[in-house]
């Protein structure tokens, strides 16, 4: 399993699935929170590209609504 797969799996388990169970319309994922939880060092571009990829949307059956903040930083906020 690649690091990108780890990021996607973590986001599904921690953010997407709980939001679905609560019937929430939107889910927000901050790259810095994922980066810290996975104990990565200087891998913000990896985290952002894994969350921001079309593959993430396809696997999770979510649609990206917006991306706020720097493109590859700790404060990048993805809304689905």
Residue 79 burial by Cβ neighbours in a 10 Å radius (0-12, 13-18, 19+): middle
Rg of the Cα atoms in the chain: 11
Token pair belonging to 77: 């906020």
Please check the confidence at residue 76 and state whether its pLDDT lies above 90: yes
Beta strands in the chain (DSSP E): 28-30, 66-68, 77-79
Render pLDDT for 20-75 as a digit per residue (tens, 0 to 9).
Answer: 999 999 999 999 999 999 999 999 999 999 999 999 999 999 999 999 999 899 99
Please check the confidence at residue 1 and state whether its pLDDT lies above 90: no
pLDDT at 73: 94
Domains in the chain: boundaries:
3-79
pLDDT at 79: 98
pLDDT at 33: 98
Of 18, 69, 65, nearest in space to 47 by CA: 69
């Amino acid at each position: 399993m690649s690091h990108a797969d780890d990021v996607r799996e973590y986001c599904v388990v921690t953010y997407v699935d709980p939001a679905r169970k609560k019937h929430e319309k939107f889910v927000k994922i901050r790259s810095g929170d994922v980066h810290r939880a996975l104990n990565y060092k200087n891998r913000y571009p990896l985290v952002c590209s894994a969350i921001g990829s079309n593959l993430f949307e396809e696997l999770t059956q979510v649609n990206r609504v917006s991306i706020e903040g720097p493109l590859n930083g700790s404060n990048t906020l993805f809304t689905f």
